[in-house]
Amino acid sequence: MQTLSQLNNGELKGVARLQLSESLTTFPVAIFDLADSLEILDLSNNQLNELPDDLYRLINLRIIFCSNNLFTELPKVLGQCQKLEMIGFKSNQIQTVSSESLPTWTRWLILTDNQITSLPEDFGRLTRVKKLALAGNRLTSLPDSIKQCESLELVRLAANQLTSFPMQILNLPRLAWLAFSGNPFCASRDPHNEFKTVAFRDLALHQVLGQGASGVISLATWKHSEFDFPEEVAVKVFKGEVTSDGYPEDELDACLAVGHHDNLVTPLAKLEETDCSALVMELIPAHYTNLGMPPSLVSCTRDTFTDGLSFSIEKIAHIIKQVDDLVAHFRLRKVSHGDLYAHNVLISEEGHVLFGDFGAASKYENLSVEQQQGIEKIEQRALGFFIGDMLSLCEEKDKESPVYKALESRRLN
């Protein structure tokens, strides 16, 4: 992160990326001195409520992030920026999104956790948009033209006010990752009384094992337990607010709804307190590692992988078979995972996989047969992308094998 002092002193001349977070209330005009080089501007975590009308002077600007500010409308000047393709205004107070504020070449639009009630009727002109994050708003419907956004691959609609499932998105040809829980049309949450309930006072939390959008996972040991649980467990404490995927309560509900499977981290009990909720899970053995890494600014919706990572076709087929079984299990339980990615998969040295992170999961048993089939088709497309990612890691010597060709055929279909 750079400083305002560095900017004003001319020390940042030539930078391609600028990140300032200093409780700014006005846009620093010295940013225009970087117009020849600046491609990524991150002004998140400030107190801004407007951008200058001549922002388009930043002629090379491709990406802008202004999350956690005070904007009440998406600035119209964004639509005049000739190269702008990624826009992130998460956690503001945005109520209005006009057509003028959306560049036709938008590829990534993040408006999570605002107060948006509607999108422009001509939203469908954004035919390049791949990633659309709208969780935690006040949308009651989607514009019919969104069905023209045929590049859309990831859509987050959870925690809105949608009164019916948006049929417009079911035929989008590339849509693979969809979250829609926490809307009025959704099924009610299940209390899952079949799961044991324990209290925080019975546990001692130790080091943090990991964290994501919806909560923090820690190692824990029992101070007291009336149940036959392992001495060491993992505890995920859910954050109380809406996340990029939806409500933490919906994640907990979906996680418990799918039940047991050999390729899922096993939930042991739930914790219910007045100020938060949490889940006690089996501790994942230390030799499990992440199969992939999250998408980058370049890959947008697609996972990234460690340089040099490769597998034999036999190991790839074994991985895919396990994920196949898991997707079938989700379908049986009428739960769409919504985030079927390699970065949500843990893998052992022997090739056993464990799947987790139900932040984008949605129950759909209450929907019509047509809607259920459409949702399952979307989830199947995510599996196809996953297969493609795995085949991209195949050792060169195996790429002519019958197994490789059979999996490649599945990916294409």
Q: Rounded to the nearest 5 degrees, what angle is found at the Cα of 360, between the Cα atoms of 358 and 361?
A: 60
Nearest to 89 by CA among 133, 33, 122: 133
Distance CA 390, CA 407 (A): 10
Tokens describing residue 14: 């030539």
Given a contact cutoff of 8 angstroms between Cβ atoms, the answer to whether 243 and 359 are in contact is yes
3-class secondary-structure state, position 264: strand
φ, ψ dihedrals at 180, nearest 5°: -140, 10
Distance CA 217, CA 233 (A): 10
Given a contact cutoff of 8 angstroms between Cβ atoms, the answer to whether 208 and 390 are in contact is no
Nearest to 238 by CA among 259, 260, 256, 213: 213
State the amino acid at position 219 in one-letter form: L
Interacting residues of 349 by C-beta distance below 8 A, sequence separation 6+: 287
Distance CA 208, CA 221 (A): 13
Given a contact cutoff of 8 angstroms between Cβ atoms, the answer to whether 73 and 96 are in contact is yes
What is the CA 163 to chain-centroid distance, rounded?
23
What is the CA 181 to chain-centroid distance, rounded?
13
Nearest to 362 by CA among 392, 330, 317, 332: 330
| Residue 223 labelled as part of a binding site | no
Site of tokens 């959008």? 213
φ, ψ dihedrals at 99, nearest 5°: -60, -35
What are the Cα distances from residue 312, in Å, to 303, 317, 333, 403? 20, 9, 32, 11
Helix H or strand E encompassing 210: strand 203-211
Distance CA 135, CA 147 (A): 19
Distance CA 250, CA 344 (A): 18
Q: Which residues belong to the annotated binding site?
A: 236
Q: Which residues are annotated as a binding site for ATP?
A: 236
